[in-house]
């Protein structure tokens, strides 16, 4: 069972490269729904209108995505689409699957609204998410997407009150929402036209509206504060993948117990919500070994996320930066070896790396950071507490790199846990000290497409 917003790799769910996604609901007289699928690039938008798959255009990308049509399971209506991730073109990074209503009403009038993922149309579902609906006239049920070299599925449940037009437009498809019998209205004069709002800006507006509706004033304030700092840097609508790398060596005990790491994690989540369109911060833990929790940091349950991590992972007696940097590189770029040529990508990675002391593998981390300078990944190292950070200062100024890909700053015990802690505005400003300049270097150096 998946919760809304939760994701899992297809392989981890014992699913093959080709899967069938089933949308279900119980129709009522005069009201049904129809499935739509959108083959999207890294920017979340279709490449052409041919990437819009539905009952009247049942195939996309040469059959990599196929609308299988409707069937029933007792009183429940099923609408299915097959997605062969191995056959998708290289510039398709996500297949979004939703449905819009056929008839007058809302999804809240239907029962049994859910999404399932199975190996084929007849197999028992390996994953299922039930979706609560209210007055929405279209729903984005799920996404099958490529992240870090592996295909994943995420249960979404995002609603639209403007039907297929809203769902399709959000994914780059132009839909004529007027009835065919209605005469076309002449376009207004240029000065009176509504300004275009980018997909990214709409997402940010929707995010703040969601947080406000949920009454999450703490995260809403953090997201807005992060946004102000990003606007100052010209990054108001910037998209990046965000990772949080946490030191779980035993010397961090008091920082974990007193909530300092939880506080920092919440600030990184706010940055991730602004930057990363999947709403999830990838998390890596390192001490003697490296771990990547199955579930990253999201809005769902973020308040006790760090406490739950420590229940699963005990603190360890070593501090190996190099192993952590290598694992992050493998996750996003497939390998962690040496490089001598740029390895470009469409979306950069912003890594927040938090530690309280010196590593035991200085030679390895130096090698890793130099190799990573050929990749579109920026390393923001933060020293916390009373540790010594002379090595991180040297790493910040490391020579023999393709581009300067790292920054370092430290926060004291007083700034973390004292009576007058560092303000959110000051913290976000430090997080963005060098990243904008690195973006410019990454673009000019061919690291970002």
* Tens digit of each residue's pLDDT, the chain (449 residues): 788 878 899 999 999 999 999 999 998 888 899 999 999 998 888 998 889 999 888 999 999 999 999 999 999 999 999 999 999 999 999 999 999 998 788 999 999 999 999 999 989 999 999 998 888 899 999 999 998 889 999 998 888 888 888 888 888 886 544 333 344 444 444 333 333 445 566 667 777 888 888 888 999 999 999 988 998 898 988 889 999 999 999 999 999 999 999 999 999 999 999 987 678 999 999 999 999 998 999 999 999 999 999 999 999 999 999 999 999 999 999 999 999 999 999 899 999 999 998 999 999 999 999 999 999 999 999 999 877 899 999 999 999 999 999 999 999 888 888 888 899 999 999 999 999 999 999 998 999 98
Position 198 scores a pLDDT of 53
pTM assigned to the model: 0.59
For 121, other C-beta atoms within 10 Å of its C-beta total 14
**Dist. CA 293–CA 297, nearest whole Å:** 9
Contact 253, 298 (CB under 8 A): no
The CA-CA-CA angle for residues 116, 117, 121, to 5°, reads 100
Q: Do domains 7-174 and 209-444 have the same CATH topology?
A: no
Contact 281, 226 (CB under 8 A): no
> Hey, where are the domains in the chain?
7-174, 209-444
> Which contacts (CB < 8 Å, 24+ apart) does range 408-413 have?
408/381, 408/382, 408/383, 409/381, 409/382, 409/383, 409/433, 410/382, 410/383, 410/384, 411/382, 411/383, 411/384, 412/385, 412/386, 413/385, 413/386
Fold annotation for 209-444: Rossmann fold (3.40.50)
Cα-trace Rg, the chain = 23
Q: Residue 275 is encoded by which pair of tokens?
A: 């930057």
**Dist. CA 45–CA 167, nearest whole Å:** 11
Q: Residue 281 is encoded by which pair of tokens?
A: 């911060």
CATH 2.60.60.30 fits 7-174, yes or no: yes
Closest CA to 24 of 85, 86, 75, 84: 75
Position 103 scores a pLDDT of 79
110-143 residue pLDDT tens = 999 999 999 999 899 999 999 988 888 999 999 9
Contact 90, 149 (CB under 8 A): no
Residue 135: exposed, middle, or buried by beta-carbon count in 10 A (0-12, 13-18, 19+)?
A: exposed
177-222 residue pLDDT tens = 433 334 444 444 433 333 344 556 666 777 788 888 888 899 999 9
């Amino acid at each position: 069972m998946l919760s809304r917003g939760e994701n899992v790799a297809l392989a981890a769910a014992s699913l093959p490269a080709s899967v069938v996604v089933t949308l279900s609901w119980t129709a009522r007289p005069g009201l049904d729904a129809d499935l739509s699928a959108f083959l999207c690039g890294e920017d979340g938008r279709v490449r052409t209108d041919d990437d819009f798959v539905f009952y009247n255009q049942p195939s996309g990308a040469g059959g990599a995505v196929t609308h299988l049509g409707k069937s029933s399971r007792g009183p429940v209506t099923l609408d299915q689409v097959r997605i062969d991730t191995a056959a998708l073109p290289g510039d398709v990074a996500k297949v979004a699957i939703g449905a819009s209503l056929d008839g007058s009403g809302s999804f809240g009038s239907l029962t049994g609204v859910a999404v399932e993922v199975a190996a084929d149309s007849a197999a028992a579902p390996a994953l299922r998410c039930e979706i609560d609906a209210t007055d929405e006239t279209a729903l984005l049920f799920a996404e099958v997407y490529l992240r870090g070299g592996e295909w994943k599925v995420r249960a979404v449940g995002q609603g639209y009150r403007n039907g297929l037009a809203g769902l399709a437009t959000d994914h780059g498809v132009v839909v004529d929402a007027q009835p065919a019998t209605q005469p076309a209205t002449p376009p207004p004069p240029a000065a009176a036209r509504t300004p275009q709002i980018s997909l990214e800006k709409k997402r940010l507006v929707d995010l703040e509206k969601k947080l406000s509706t949920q009454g999450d004033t703490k995260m809403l304030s953090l997201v807005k504060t992060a946004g102000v700092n990003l606007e100052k840097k010209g990054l108001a609508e910037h998209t990046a993948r965000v990772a949080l790398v946490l030191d779980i060596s035993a010397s961090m005990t008091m920082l974990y117990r007193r909530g300092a790491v939880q506080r920092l994690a919440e600030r990184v989540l706010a940055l991730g919500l602004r930057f990363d369109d999947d709403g999830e911060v990838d998390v890596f833990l390192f001490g003697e070994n490296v771990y990547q929790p199955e579930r990253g940091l999201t809005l769902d349950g973020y308040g006790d996320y760090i406490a739950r991590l420590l229940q699963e992972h005990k603190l360890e007696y070593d501090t190996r930066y190099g192993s952590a940097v290598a694992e992050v590189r493998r996750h996003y770029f497939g390998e962690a070896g040496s490089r001598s040529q740029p390895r470009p990508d469409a979306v950069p990675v912003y890594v927040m790396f938090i530690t309280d002391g010196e590593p035991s593998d200085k030679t390895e981390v130096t090698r890793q950071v130099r190799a990573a300078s050929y990749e579109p990944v920026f390393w923001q190292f933060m020293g916390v507490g009373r540790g010594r950070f002379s090595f991180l200062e040297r790493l910040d100024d490391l020579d023999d790199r393709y581009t300067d890909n790292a920054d370092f700053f430290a926060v004291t015990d007083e700034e973390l846990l004292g009576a007058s802690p560092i303000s959110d505005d000051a913290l976000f400003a430090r997080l963005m000290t060098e990243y904008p300049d690195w973006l410019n270097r990454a673009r000019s150096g061919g690291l970002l497409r």
